[in-house]
Structure 1
Amino acid sequence: MGEIPDDATHWDTGDWIEWHRTSLGVDHRPCAAAAQDQQAQMTALHINLLRAAKGYFEMTGHHLPVYPQIAHVHAAIFCDLPMDGPDRTCAQTGVEVACLAPHSPSDEVEVDLSHDFVTLIVVKISDDFTAQARMISRADLPKSKDGPYRVAWQALPHTF
């Protein structure tokens, strides 16, 4: 294998990394760009939450009660939403986020149609602890504002 030239670069997670920076040995300093990038921080949080949930399940056979939070972080990353805190409601954001947990007996979520939302985002965390999201407009759901309505994963049109 040939030697890498000093001026060679490669693309890594949104940054150009110069080979000569790493050819002198392992650089243990944290990347300043990642610490300042909220998208990178949320992505790291998302990955860590999924790993923690998977590790706990593999060790104990039980689920950590973190799947709704994982769904909100996933929706924030992939649907470009602000992170919701405990004081934010779907009436303020216009988005209702629902979660399908791994090893769930059903591929349906229950949505309260009395909530005032514009978009429903359903995040499915698969049995292998990967996540994907689908969304549907409130206009595509029944016009009724009466209580719960079940929505099947397969009925959701847009995948992220």
Structure 2
Amino acid sequence: MIAGPPQSWEIPTDAVHWDSGDWIDWYRRQGTAEPGEIAPEVDPDARVRLAYRALLQTAKLYHEATGRHLPVYEALAELHGVVAHGLSLDRDRQDTTLRIACIAPYAEPRLLRIDFAQEFDRLLAVSIAPDFGIESRLIERHQLHGCIKGVARLKWSELPQPDTGTG
């Protein structure tokens, strides 16, 4: 029995096409990869970058379409840590050395809520702006002067700046 053409929503089984004398991967034809990027099937880190971009784009499009926010900002912050700072997604959820805190795009004022009673050595502070731009800072706990214990609200603008190595 010969199978008919794939439905428009199905990924072709060959998933590779010949175009202008070059092999073009299906996912590149769909616009989900940057030129020169390694295929997600080959590089697991590429899969994380692809998931990060897709989740960020989905959150932005959903907000533009509905005016509401998806509950994905903590996951975006974690994925941003992997993509921007080389953190591991495989880290144990009970890992006490790293704390991730996120400012959602709708948060006003732009404050991070940090519980200093919890043990952590480093803080990944992630700010997602109303236009869905993302900034982050990986900060050693000892750099957070004046915060010893209890819950603190820290202004993004007052967090230590990342060391650029140009000093």
TM-score bin (small chain): 0.7 to 0.9
Aligned to 1:41: 47
CA offsets per residue over residues 17-50 of structure 1, 9 Å max, x none? xxxx853266345587432212211111111111
Q: Does 1:140 align with 2:143?
A: yes
Percent identity, aligned pairs only?
32
Q: Does 1:88 align with 2:85?
A: no
The aligned runs of 1:1-160 (5 Å cut-off) are: 23-24=20-21, 27-29=24-26, 33-83=39-89, 88-91=93-96, 94-141=97-144, 142=146, 144-145=148-149, 147-156=150-159, 157-158=161-162
Distance change >3 Å, CA 29–CA 48, structure 1 → 2:
closer
Looking at structure 2, the residues matched to 90 and 108 of structure 1 have their Cα atoms a distance apart, in angstroms, of 24
Looking at structure 1, the residues matched to 132 and 27 of structure 2 have their Cα atoms a distance apart, in angstroms, of 27
Looking at structure 2, the residues matched to 84 and 111 of structure 1 have their Cα atoms a distance apart, in angstroms, of 23
Contact 1:72/1:84, CA 8 A, preserved across alignment: no
Query: Structure 2: where are the runs of 5+ without partners?
Result: 1-17, 29-37
Quote the offset at 1:140 in angstroms. Answer: 1.9
TM-score with structure 1 length normalisation?
0.74
CA offsets per residue over residues 28-77 of structure 1, 9 Å max, x none? 45587432212211111111111110111111111000000000000111
Looking at structure 2, the residues matched to 122 and 82 of structure 1 have their Cα atoms a distance apart, in angstroms, of 16
Q: CA RMSD in A?
A: 2.5
Q: Which one has the bigger helix percentage?
A: 1
Distance change >3 Å, CA 28–CA 120, structure 1 → 2:
closer
Query: Structure 1: where are the runs of 5+ without partners?
Result: 1-20
Higher relative contact order (CA 8 A, sep 6+): 1
Aligned to 2:7: none
> Secondary structure of 1:96's partner?
strand
Following TM superposition, where does structure 1 have runs of at least 4 consecutive aligned residues deviating by more than 6 angstroms?
Answer: none
Q: Which amino acid aligns with 1:74?
A: H
Looking at structure 1, the residues matched to 53 and 23 of structure 2 have their Cα atoms a distance apart, in angstroms, of 24
Looking at structure 1, the residues matched to 100 and 163 of structure 2 have their Cα atoms a distance apart, in angstroms, of 14
> Secondary structure of 2:40's partner?
helix
